Amino acid sequence: MQTLLPGITAERVPTSRLTTAVLSVTGRTGHPVLFVHGNVSSSLFWQPTMLALPEGYRPLAVDLRGFGGTDPEPVDATRGLGDYADDLAAVIEALELTSVHLVGWSMGGGAVLQYLTERPVTHRAASVTLVAPVSPFGFGGTYGTDGTLCDAAGTGSGAGSVNRDFVTRLAAGDRSAESPTSPRQVLLAHYVKPPFVPAELDIFVESMLSTRIGDDHYPGTSRQVAAWPGFAPGDRGVLNTMAPTHFRIDGLAELDLKPPVLWLRGADDVIVSDTSLYDLGYLGSIGAVPGWPGLAAWPPQPMLAQTRALLDGYTAAGGRYREVVIQDSGHGPHIDQPELFMAALSEHLAQA
């Protein structure tokens, strides 16, 4: 099927690391705004947002490695989201973007944060927008606003947490709505707030199905351990990049160049939340995963509180941020509440 909306152009851009697929809006010029997608998706999710961006900005969107049309190079999870961050730096260089507004969704928000913190002087961000970003202390297996590990091995995080039937259906190219674990139904239940159905649903499903499957990609490797819940993160693949033993953002306050930050999230997000349906600590606390060690040993991960603590520290060090919570919205506020999302983003870009 045709996956590009009218007015969107796709190209493959050679960089110093790999060839990256990039979307743009035909004929648009101005200050570049670079959109970075999240896990099990691609740049295709950003098309309506790109087309709605006000004049005066040049919309661009990239596919991360192993998604969409970008080269499927392996993912070294021991670097956290470092492979994605370095790829982002390489495409910014290849496109000769001397100053760019960065917009990162979910895992893409984490990649943007790692891009910044590994380049405190040389980053090229004029502003940063974090859309439902992964916690700065990864996904699963931590507690407290400082991201303390529940277990030193990072148990309960990484590729072992994945729903295997969902992976099977991704690999098979399942476009049906017959199962709660089909990509289409996962999108409708978790990416957006039900009962919203995006007009571009079929395109978004194709985007999800562009995810490369395997040990070096999604979901990655896992290892069995004796401690609850029985698995710990491996060293390869997508989900392990966000394991708290590999990914941790501590240096945001230390940036020499501090771009303004907008934190945008849906009020009804079930993925990145203090009560996330993807967090083993929360699922254990409601009885959905047997053997839970209890609140004292393994509380639900306070994902929102952890992000807020990071950004409060950024403000204390001279940066600034604004948190915008969009009501009646899920994990993708740019999808299910596009007008409210665009209003907040446009104001942020104009102020920056």
CATH number, domain containing residue 230? 3.40.50.1820
The answer to whether 198 and 204 are in contact (CB under 8 A) is yes
Instruction: Name the token pair of 293.
Output: 């060690």
- Residue 2 within any structural domain of the chain: no
**pLDDT, position 300:** 98
The answer to whether 285 and 299 are in contact (CB under 8 A) is yes
Largest CA distance in the chain: 57
- The band of 43, judged by pLDDT with boundaries at 50, 70 and 90, is very high
Tens digit of pLDDT for each residue in 291-331?
999 999 999 999 999 999 999 999 999 999 999 999 999 99
- Residue 64 within any structural domain of the chain: yes
The answer to whether 134 and 106 are in contact (CB under 8 A) is yes
Percent of the chain with pLDDT strictly greater than 70 = 100
- Residue 134 within any structural domain of the chain: yes
pLDDT at 102 over 90: yes
Q: What is the 3-state secondary structure (H, E, C) of 77-88?
A: HHHCCHHHHHHH
- Residue 247 within any structural domain of the chain: yes
Q: In sequence order, what DSSP letters do the residues of 172-196 get, joined into one string? A: TT---SSSTTSHHHHIIIIIS-TT-
**pLDDT, position 207:** 98
Number of continuous H segments (helices) and E segments (strands) in the chain: 11, 14
- What crossing angle do the helices spanning 107-117 and 82-94 adopt, rounded to 10°? 70
β-pairing verdict for 31-36 and 57-62: parallel
**pLDDT, position 1:** 81
pLDDT at 148 over 90: yes
- Residue 1 within any structural domain of the chain: no
Instruction: Name the token pair of 203.
Output: 């395109």
Record the pTM: 0.98
Structural domain total, the chain = 1
- Residue 296 within any structural domain of the chain: yes
- Residue 337 within any structural domain of the chain: yes
Per-residue pLDDT averaged across 48-65, rounded? 98
- Domain limits for position 44: 8-351
- Residue 3 within any structural domain of the chain: no
**pLDDT, position 78:** 98
Per-residue pLDDT averaged across 340-347, rounded? 98
From CA 210, how far away is CA 205, in angstroms rounded? 9
Side chain identity at 299, as an amino acid letter? Answer: P
